[in-house]
């Protein structure tokens, strides 16, 4: 009898080990599947912001979402020569000097850019309220065309899943870094 009990005990022990291994394998597979599904969802809502400045057909600064999901803009810093400015009027004063500056602007902070959406964030205008077109004889256009390279932006934005990135860009290009969260508004935050 003890030998038969020992055999039953050995079979039971092997069955327990096998059942434990099967359970662990099933748990591992379901964890990996959940991870892959999360990655697919992340990829399906991943925003990628891009800053650009151009002089065709007029001088303007733009922000575009080249990603596949909406970008929720949480925090913006605009700099001229590395120094933060709080409004476009202040930026134009640094670029062009004192005087009355005319421009059209779009609100960046708090804006949600859909996938594929592009928005003009600043267009300098002439005295008549028309955008400065590429007239190389116009002294203001020539000066602003050169000076726009002094502007840089730092834009913190998030996806609909709450994952956040910071775009740091200027006339020569930009870099995006992942961040845990966007900063709160401060004394150097851009206000519109």
* pLDDT attached to residue 56: 84
pLDDT at 156: 97
Give the pLDDT of residue 170.
92
The answer, as to whether pTM is greater than 0.85, is no
For residue 13, what pLDDT is reported? 76
User: pLDDT value at position 178?
Assistant: 95
pLDDT, residue 110, reads 87
Q: What is the spatial order of strands in the sheet that 118-125 belongs to?
A: 49-54, 60-65, 118-125, 102-105
Q: Give the distance from CA 90 to its chain's centroid.
A: 24
The maximal CA–CA distance of the chain, rounded, in angstroms, is 109
- Whether cis (ω within 30° of 0) applies to the bond prior to 57 is yes
* Average pLDDT by stretches of 10, the chain with 192 residues: 63 78 82 72 79 89 95 96 95 90 88 94 85 74 90 96 95 93 94 78
Residue 143's φ and ψ, nearest 5 degrees, are -65, -45
């Amino acid at each position: 009898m003890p030998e038969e009990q020992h055999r039953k005990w050995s079979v039971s022990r092997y069955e327990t080990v096998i059942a434990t291994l099967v359970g662990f394998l099933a748990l591992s597979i379901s964890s990996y599947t959940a991870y892959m599904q999360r990655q697919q969802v992340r990829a399906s809502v991943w925003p990628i912001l891009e800053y650009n400045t151009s002089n065709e057909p007029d001088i303007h600064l733009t922000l575009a979402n080249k990603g596949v999901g909406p970008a929720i803009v949480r925090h913006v810093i605009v700099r001229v020569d590395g120094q933060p400015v709080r409004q476009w009027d202040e930026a134009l004063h640094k670029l062009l000097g004192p005087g009355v500056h005319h421009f059209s602007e779009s609100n960046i902070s708090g804006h949600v850019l859909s996938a594929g959406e592009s928005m003009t964030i600043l267009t300098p205008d002439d005295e008549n309220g028309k955008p400065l077109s590429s007239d190389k004889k116009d002294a203001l256009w020539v000066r602003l065309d050169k000076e726009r390279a002094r502007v840089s932006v730092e834009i913190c934005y998030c996806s609909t899943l709450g994952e956040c990135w910071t775009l740091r860009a200027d006339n020569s290009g930009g870099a995006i870094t992942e961040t845990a969260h966007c900063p709160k508004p401060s004394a150097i935050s851009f206000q519109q």
